[in-house]
Chains A and B, each alone.
Chain A
Amino acid sequence: MINFDFVDRAETIATAAYVCWHCEDPTCAQVCPADAIKKGEDGVVMSALKPRCIACENCVLACPFGIPKIIPEYEQMMKCDMCYDRTSVGKKPMCATVCPSQALAYLRPEDIAHRRETPSNVFYFGAQKITTQVYMMTPPGTDSVTLDITEFMWEKANV
């Protein structure tokens, strides 16, 4: 339920681990033809409801963060639900509990106030603006993160 990979292993040891960002207006839910993806009052976006999910993969294709996965043996979209069984009873999600470097962390804002980085939760994918419940630590003074997919396409083409 976590996407983890090297960013570009040939060039760097940098890695990235992403849980679901739990968007305020989730793209996966917008594109779901079966209305199977629900967001709770607490802002947590759940896996597709098994009785409704038709495993069409719209959500897999549409999510700009690349989070949802279809699990073939269950014919269902599953994704990070912020460890609902844990967080709903006051525990941290498992990933943030065990993460040895605390790159994934489940904290109150005041716990990270002293850090150099700025927490950001506004992302631009081209023209699409997304606001999320999960924050990314970004360089000081950053107010949003912008990704222009076409830029990466050009870079690739020039190699």
Chain B
Amino acid sequence: MAKSPGTLEQLRDQYGPHLNYTPDGGWGKESRTQPDRLVKTHCCFCGQQCGIQLKVHGSRVIGFEPWEDFPFNRGMLCPKGVKRYLQSNHQDRLLDPLLRTDSDFVKASWEEAMALTARRLREVQDRYGKDSVAVYGGASLTTEKSYLLGKFARVALGTRHIDYNGRLCMVSAGTAYKLAFDVDRSPIPWSEIPKAQVIFAIGANVGECAPITTDYIWRCRDNGGKLIVADPRMTPISRNADLFLPLRPGTDLALLNGMLHVVLRDNLQDDDFIEQHTTGFEAVKASVARFDPRMAAAMTGVPPEAIEKAAHMFAKADRAIAMHARGLEHQSKGVENCSALINLTLATGHLGREGCGCTMITGQGNGQGGREHGQKCDQLPGQRSLLDPKAREHVAGVWGISPDELPQPGYSAQEIMNAIHAGEIKALFSICFNPAVSLPNADFTREALEKLEFFAITDFFLSETARYADVVLAGSLQEEEEGVTCSAEGRVIHIQRAVDPPTNARRDSEIICDLARRLGKGKFFPFETPREIFEELRKASRGGHADYYGITYEKIDAQMGVFWPCPTLDHPGTPHLMQDGISFYPDGKCRFQLAEWRESGDPVDDTFPIYLTTGRVVSQYLSGTQTRRIGGLVDIYPEPRVEIHPRMAEQHGIVDKDWVTITTRRSAITLQASIVRTIRPDTVFIPYHWADKKSANMLTHRTLDPRSKIPEFKVSACRIQKADGPPSWATAEVLVKIAPAGAAN
């Protein structure tokens, strides 16, 4: 049903991505125009949520000014933050709702689009049942929008199936921290990082994906700290690593268990901490007995001496911090990987003291806040479980419904797409999610989207996923609606409405409330402003682990952010969790978790002998819906390239800039080669921000971690072959841009 209308070329001509290089009216106007006001807010992109001031003139954002007083980034910004304002006033911006016809999208009135959406959703539910409609959310939404969307799914639609794109980010880490500490948040604020003597960064491309964290690590090194980096590639921070562990993709667990083995073998564990603050140590001790350095080395490809050295450096340091990101988490054993890292932290007693801890570097803008208040398929506001009768009673009470009316947990993000493909889910309401680019096995995602009987999407640009929608609702950019987000450190911060949505575009929360009213549930959605939503959220989260009850917009502004939990209005917030090693479990103990080895879901073999790993570049953000429209960012890294080690390149007769076809058990794509000595010789790397035939996710597989349901983006099996020539997308125009004659890089 929902086949993309018209040709790709037609859609691209009209809706982009087009490149915006200059502010509205050009640089001359920008430098002559004095802003009416500077709005202190935050970057719309990653989980660092840097403070930034937007220059506003009239109803337009015309530039930015660093915000040096904001304590997290003190004025620092990455290229995405510097250029972010160029998405405002963009020619591709959706200014009206669109309806799909057989050949095109046509502009519609809000009345028409909303009435159709409500009618079709109701028809599908009447015919196939409540759970035949699913809702997708996203972790770039403010916490108010995330909360509202969870309530919308469960109260207005009454469906079990709501999940969000944070499922593709770090849910495995969240699950592991929940198992170990009964709370899903970084235990430490970033201000602890410079105080450590040893930083161990595993699967974390800090320089490109969390750029401001680089400064914290460099300050640690300026103070004499040592840096250990484990990654299949030399990422920018590894240039200053004291010890670099170039492990094989998907073998982090063997490395971590190997390090714990060495710690225990050499009696470097902290017996007092283990005794006083933990349970489950003996079972974990027994499980790592077989991971001696020789075996860990055989599995990881890292020399045994290096594994021993890493274990000694980490354990012998009085103060050490282990940090991790998608490399550790994007695996079908992502929970085990993170548990193994927590085990190492607990065994060495590096928790609850100055300059100590383990921490996840949450990736998405509101990756933390967006997962705390009810758009996860199994959670209610306040980081409560949807299975907990007390939690159901509390939230149902705040919402004015009976606990029995609350649906049970539903499918996770990939499972929803699988159910759409299987015909079980017939309709989808999506906001802030571009699964056509971000879910693994993109052909499968496309097939599924084409099967939907009804698909409504809310977005500000026509994303690759929106091409499949029956109704496109023109929503708002981050700077067009007030709200809060929660950064990677657990700091709740205030997003300001700098401008209003242009022309006929609407605030996201207004769209959701309007739809709820049209579904006959208006009395549960009386909200006129985000502040009203936040007031209800405070009550709904009250008493949960992620307790926002004591947080107000005014307190956030006065304190430059409030760390949760913050249970009362006079509470200052909680930057450090688990002070003195006391977990959130009723007994206060931290739980060692067994972290057993399991093979990847897409193992290498004779036909597909090469590891494929995917990731990011500094100039692009997630599926690129925003950043692929900003000229200055696209120029930094215009098209995806496949990184290949010279040794592998030689075996395949490939030289730098050759076109190379990468084939996996799903599909094949052809990209230009970047021959670099900074990657393992048995591994190739592709950044994933692009769509269609340039999409790394054409190649990845749908194996999920069984507990957290995170896909295994970081490990696939592939083969490579020199291509006869450029692929069809590499037009003459593209070729000039990516391979100018005589260019050095």
Q: Are B214 and A10 in contact (CB under 8 A)?
A: no
Q: Are A98 and B75 in contact (CB under 8 A)?
A: yes
Which segment, of A39-47, A48-56, A99-107, faces chain B? Answer: A99-107
Within 8 A of A (CB), among B678-723: 678
Q: Tell me if A129 counts as interface (CB < 8 A to partner B).
A: no
B76 CB contact (under 8 Å) in A6, A13, A100, A116:
A100
Residues of A close to B239: CB separation below 8 A: 12-14
Residues of B close to A156: CB separation below 8 A: none
A10-B677, A15-B236, A114-B222 given; A100·B78 CB < 8 A: yes
Q: Tell me if B234 counts as interface (CB < 8 A to partner A).
A: yes
Closest B residue by C-beta to A102: B215
Within 8 A of B (CB), among A1-57: 5-6, 9-15
Residues of B close to A100: CB separation below 8 A: 76-78, 211-212, 214-215
Chain A 58-84 interface mask (CB, 8 Å, partner B; 1/0): 000000000000000000000000000
B202 to nearest A CB, angstroms? 18
Q: Tell me if B313 counts as interface (CB < 8 A to partner A).
A: no
A12-B239, A13-B236, A13-B239 given; A101·B218 CB < 8 A: yes
CA distance A12 to B75 in the complex (A): 29
Q: Tell me if B66 counts as interface (CB < 8 A to partner A).
A: yes
Chain B 51-84 interface mask (CB, 8 Å, partner A; 1/0): 0000000000000001010000001111001100
B84 to nearest A CB, angstroms? 12
Q: Tell me if A88 counts as interface (CB < 8 A to partner B).
A: no
Residues of A close to B212: CB separation below 8 A: 100
Within 8 A of A (CB), among B295-326: none
Residues of B close to A116: CB separation below 8 A: 222
CA distance A100 to B236 in the complex (A): 12
B745 CB contact (under 8 Å) in A6, A97, A98:
A6
Q: Are B677 and A11 in contact (CB under 8 A)?
A: yes
CA distance A92 to B744 in the complex (A): 32
Q: Tell me if A115 counts as interface (CB < 8 A to partner B).
A: yes
A10-B646, A10-B656 given; A5·B745 CB < 8 A: yes
CA distance A17 to B704 in the complex (A): 41
Q: Tell me if B337 counts as interface (CB < 8 A to partner A).
A: no
The contact size tier of chain A is 20 to 34
The contact size tier of chain B is 20 to 34
A97-B68, A100-B76, A115-B222 given; A13·B678 CB < 8 A: yes
Residues of B close to A12: CB separation below 8 A: 234, 239, 677-678
Q: Are A101 and B211 in contact (CB under 8 A)?
A: yes
Q: Tell me if B238 counts as interface (CB < 8 A to partner A).
A: yes
CA distance A98 to B207 in the complex (A): 14
B259 to nearest A CB, angstroms? 25
Q: Tell me if B675 counts as interface (CB < 8 A to partner A).
A: yes
Q: How many A-B residue pairs have CB under 8 A?
A: 58
Closest B residue by C-beta to A98: B77
Q: Tell me if B279 counts as interface (CB < 8 A to partner A).
A: no
Q: Tell me if B496 counts as interface (CB < 8 A to partner A).
A: no
Q: Are A101 and B77 in contact (CB under 8 A)?
A: no
CA distance A116 to B222 in the complex (A): 7
Residues of B close to A6: CB separation below 8 A: 745
Residues of A close to B243: CB separation below 8 A: none
B225 to nearest A CB, angstroms? 12
A75 to nearest B CB, angstroms? 16
Q: Tell me if B235 counts as interface (CB < 8 A to partner A).
A: yes
Q: Tell me if B676 counts as interface (CB < 8 A to partner A).
A: yes
Q: Are A97 and B675 in contact (CB under 8 A)?
A: no
A10-B675, A14-B239, A15-B236 given; A101·B66 CB < 8 A: no
Chain A 98-142 interface mask (CB, 8 Å, partner B; 1/0): 111110000000000011100000000000000000000000000
Closest A residue by C-beta to B646: A10
B116 to nearest A CB, angstroms? 45
Secondary structure at chain A's binding surface: helix, strand, loop or mixed? loop
B218 CB contact (under 8 Å) in A5, A9, A97, A102:
A102
B245 to nearest A CB, angstroms? 16
Residues of B close to A98: CB separation below 8 A: 66, 75-78, 81-82
CA distance A116 to B677 in the complex (A): 29
Q: Are A102 and B676 in contact (CB under 8 A)?
A: no
B75 CB contact (under 8 Å) in A11, A97, A101, A114:
A97
Residues of B close to A102: CB separation below 8 A: 76, 215, 218
CA distance A91 to B744 in the complex (A): 36
CA distance A13 to B685 in the complex (A): 15
CA distance A72 to B77 in the complex (A): 29
Closest A residue by C-beta to B77: A98
Residues of B close to A9: CB separation below 8 A: 674, 676, 745
CA distance A124 to B676 in the complex (A): 31
A99 CB contact (under 8 Å) in B76, B238, B677, B745:
B76
B639 to nearest A CB, angstroms? 16
A133 to nearest B CB, angstroms? 22
A158 to nearest B CB, angstroms? 18
Residues of A close to B236: CB separation below 8 A: 13, 15
A13 CB contact (under 8 Å) in B78, B222, B234, B675:
B234
CA distance A102 to B77 in the complex (A): 10
Residues of A close to B238: CB separation below 8 A: 13
CA distance A32 to B238 in the complex (A): 42
Residues of A close to B76: CB separation below 8 A: 97-100, 102
Q: Are A10 and B676 in contact (CB under 8 A)?
A: yes
CA distance A99 to B744 in the complex (A): 25
CA distance A102 to B68 in the complex (A): 13
Residues of A close to B66: CB separation below 8 A: 94, 97-98
CA distance A75 to B666 in the complex (A): 53
Residues of A close to B745: CB separation below 8 A: 5-6, 9
CA distance A116 to B225 in the complex (A): 12
Q: Are B207 and A101 in contact (CB under 8 A)?
A: yes
CA distance A6 to B675 in the complex (A): 14
A110 to nearest B CB, angstroms? 14
CA distance A14 to B81 in the complex (A): 22
Within 8 A of A (CB), among B211-256: 211-212, 214-215, 218, 222, 234-236, 238-239
CA distance A97 to B670 in the complex (A): 40
CA distance A100 to B214 in the complex (A): 7
Residues of A close to B234: CB separation below 8 A: 12-13
CA distance A101 to B236 in the complex (A): 11
CA distance A6 to B238 in the complex (A): 15
A89 to nearest B CB, angstroms? 13
10 extra interface residue pairs, beta carbon distance < 8 Å, beyond A13-B236, A101-B207: A5-B744, A12-B239, A13-B234, A15-B236, A97-B66, A97-B68, A98-B78, A100-B212, A101-B211, A101-B218
25 of the cross-chain contacts (CB-CB < 8 Å) are: A5-B744, A9-B674, A9-B676, A9-B745, A10-B675, A10-B677, A11-B676, A12-B239, A12-B678, A13-B235, A13-B236, A13-B238, A97-B68, A97-B75, A97-B76, A99-B76, A100-B76, A100-B77, A100-B78, A100-B211, A100-B212, A100-B215, A101-B214, A102-B76, A116-B222
> Interface of B with A (CB < 8 Å)?
66, 68, 75-78, 81-82, 207, 211-212, 214-215, 218, 222, 234-236, 238-239, 646, 656, 674-678, 744-745
Closest CB pairs A-B (n = 3): A100-B211, A101-B214, A98-B77
> Interface of A with B (CB < 8 Å)?
5-6, 9-15, 92, 94, 97-102, 114-116
